[in-house]
Amino acid sequence: MIDVQHLPRSLATALRKRYQMVARLVAVVLPAAMAVAAWSQEGAYDASEVKAAFLYHFGTYVQWPAAAPAMDPITIVVLGDPDVAAHLARFVPGRRISGRPVETRVITRVEELADDEILFIGRTSNSSLAQITAAVARRPMLVVADAPDGLERGAMVNFQEVDSRVRFEISLPRAEEAGLVLSSRLLAAALRVAQRALIEPTGRVYVATSWPPVTRPPHGGR
């Protein structure tokens, strides 16, 4: 993981400017009714950079159930994605959410979680995604995944890459179960918002959204 403070001044300045640009782009993207990628078709920004910026900005649109002291940091935890973790480590120093400092850390097991506000589960942990989300169910923690069926497997927010652009979808019931209140501006920017999820005896998951409901087979199904 690169420490910007120990890089040559010119390189450190260039990196800070790059992350500031990504932050501004994502900050503009999120309030938009139709979220557009913060990185172009030509790949001006790496998808991991954009996801790191989104994780920070998600926190600015979430209200947690219990108020915390002003100096108590908001912590973004990463499990299973070293690239996103590295970008976050360079992205969040000096930033605040609701006046609170923002920190990030990496874990390798769900048992390492504490009173953290945001958990990002990367792709290398997708094989155990359902078990991880079950372990943190109903905790006041925004759980973000990066899987084709992340919402169906317990995530509150899930990244999707559509036409080489980073988008996200939201499960409103999962957030409500944890006592989190999501801003209407965040919901408006989502690719889709699942209002409820019904699992029929056939095992198929019917996800009702603000668009016509769609039918998806269970994980691993056809």
pLDDT greater at residue 31 or residue 117 = 117
CATH number for the segment(s) 4-192:
3.40.50
**Amino acid 222: pLDDT:** 36
Tokens standing for residue 57: 């900005």
Average pLDDT, whole number, for the chain? 78
pLDDT greater at residue 217 or residue 10 = 10
**Mean pLDDT to the nearest integer, 10-35:** 52
Matching residue, tokens 């900005």: 57
193: which strand partners? Answer: 170
**Mean pLDDT to the nearest integer, 8-25:** 56
The 10s digit of each residue's pLDDT in 66-122 is 878 878 999 999 999 999 999 999 989 999 998 999 999 999 999 999 999 999 999
Residue 193 has pLDDT above 80, yes or no: yes
Residues 144, 158 contacting (CB under 8 angstroms) = yes
**Amino acid 70: pLDDT:** 79
User: Could you give phi then psi for residue 67, rounded to 5 degrees?
Assistant: -75, 140
Residue 33 has pLDDT above 60, yes or no: no
Residue 210 has pLDDT above 60, yes or no: no
Task: Work out whether the CA dihedral 179, 184, 188, 193 comes out positive or negative.
Answer: positive
Matching residue, tokens 């019904």: 198
**Amino acid 10: pLDDT:** 55
Gap between the Cα atoms of 203 and 189, Å rounded: 30
Query: For the chain, which residues make up each domain, given as ranges?
Result: 4-192
Gap between the Cα atoms of 136 and 117, Å rounded: 12
Gap between the Cα atoms of 64 and 106, Å rounded: 22
Under the banding of pLDDT at 50, 70 and 90, the label for residue 15 is low
pTM: 0.74
**Amino acid 126: pLDDT:** 96
**Amino acid 3: pLDDT:** 46
Cβ contacts of 106-111, under 8 Å, gap ≥ 24: 106/77, 106/78, 106/79, 106/82, 107/77, 107/78, 107/79, 108/79, 110/79, 110/135, 110/136
pLDDT greater at residue 137 or residue 198 = 137
